[in-house]
Chains A and B, each alone.
Chain A
Amino acid sequence: MSHHQLDARRLLCPLPVIRTQNRVQTLEPGDTLEVICTDPGALYDIPAWCRMYGHEVTGTEQTHDELRITVRIGSGGG
């Protein structure tokens, strides 16, 4: 089980989801991926995408200009 980071800053919707989706495909169940982004749309999109595939959003941190969304990979694949 390992932890990974994805820099999706300055990317606009739906690119943060596309990058997340593509990265998750290379990870194993139980791994975590922290997605750093700036488009607030990701607050809706990444959890919606995770629900669809059985991944779990374990944390969301929002600072003035950045969002950090942590996803634990489920066994459903990407």
Chain B
Amino acid sequence: MTEPRKAVALISGGLDSMLAAKLIKNQGVHVEGINFFTGFCVEGHTHAIRASKQDKPKRNNALWSAEQVGIKLHIIDVIDEYKDIVINPKHGYGTHLNPCLDCKGFMVKKAREWMETNGFDFIITGEVVGQRPMSQRKDTMPVVARESGAFDRLLRPLCAKILPPTLPEREGWVDREKLLDFSGRNRKPQMALATEFGFEDYAQPAGGCCFLTDGNYTRRLGDLWEHRGDKRYELDDILLLKIGRHLRPRPHFKMIVAREEGETNFLQGYRRDFTHLFATSHSGPLVLIEGDVTDEDLLLAARLTARFGQGRSADQVTVEIHPRAGVSRALHVSPLPPNEIPESWYL
């Protein structure tokens, strides 16, 4: 008996990549999944951090979907390599700071390298023609195949029938007749196929597979870049953008204010790296400060810290200030009244 052909499936955690992997597995191909962690992936980070949401533990959708399909999953950390994609996308950004076309090209390229190293034959993705405005158009799909170096070893089983035959189809490794012709934004065919395969409770991210399609998130990222003077970031920076209220009361400093206990606990882990404040006379949030601050700035930050805690209506609140370098001290301040906090401070 000949060895089955081997395919590596890009698994995002969404329904489409699950369906694509299952379709090919059902044809007798040996399929393994690959998932790339960029740092922006829509994972349960907010969920993991917020105390109020810890009733049921959050699963990793990519792992969950691979298990449903019955394949192994390899999760690869691409945080550092991915920076160049976010910072300098050759094909530009979509509606927000999402470099979808470059991102797809990058992920398929990484999958192609993995395929070559591990002796696999082809790559599959859950892409559907016309589903996403930037990366899943009939004219951009060949761009991904070409720029990734995967060429015709890249198969999109959900829409293969409306695309030119790829190597696995021409060689008879898969039966083209059993592939699909999905196109456009209508999700009904995918949902019907999910029912047929018995997939339930799958993730349906609203905007896309990552935070770079989220306008609120990318506004904060844009602010970070603007005030740093360049488009650098570290993993901690992009995680912190997901947590708490972010306010920029002055151009040279920003405050991250925990919204509840779980966020306070999480931010505790960053105390050594940031000047931070919290009220001691009343309960309230932990606040981190990013930027170089003067005494006058700290007074304003202390009044804001008081504003976001239980002492918001008190005459005086005691706030402890712990500079990143230097000696801690306490200030007795009056909470900043809401009408003195302009909307424009909120990021």
Hey, which bits of chain A sit against chain B, CB under 8 A? 10, 12-15, 17-18, 21, 39-41, 43-45, 48-49, 51-53, 65
User: Which residues of A sit under 8 angstroms from B43, Cβ to Cβ?
Assistant: 12-14, 41
User: Which residues of A sit under 8 angstroms from B247, Cβ to Cβ?
Assistant: none
The contact string, 1 if C-beta is below 8 Å from chain A, for chain B 8-51, is 00000000000000000000000000010100010111011100
Q: Across the interface, do A12 and B37 meet the contact criterion of CB distance under 8 Å?
A: no
Q: Summarize B's interface: helix, strand, loop or mixed.
A: mixed
CB-contact partner of B48 in A13, A17, A48, A65, under 8 A: A13
Interface size class of B (residues with CB under 8 A): 20 to 34
**Chain A residue nearest in CB terms to B71:** A52
Q: Across the interface, do A41 and B58 meet the contact criterion of CB distance under 8 Å?
A: yes
Q: How far is the CA of A45 from the CA of B60 in the complex (A)?
A: 6
CB proximity to A under 8 Å, residues B44-99: 44-45, 47-49, 54, 57-60, 62-64, 66-67, 72-77
User: Which residues of B sit under 8 angstroms from A44, Cβ to Cβ?
Assistant: 57-60
State the total of A-B contacts with C-beta under 8 angstroms. 67
CB-contact partner of A45 in B47, B59, B72, B76, under 8 A: B59
- With A12-B45, A40-B48 known as contacts, the answer to whether A49 contacts B76 (CB < 8 A) is no
Q: Across the interface, do B59 and A41 meet the contact criterion of CB distance under 8 Å?
A: yes
The contact string, 1 if C-beta is below 8 Å from chain A, for chain B 262-290, is 00010001000000000000000000000
- With A12-B43, A41-B44, A65-B265 known as contacts, the answer to whether A18 contacts B60 (CB < 8 A) is no
**Chain A residue nearest in CB terms to B46:** A12
Q: How far is the CA of A49 from the CA of B60 in the complex (A)?
A: 10
CB-contact partner of A48 in B47, B59, B74, under 8 A: B59
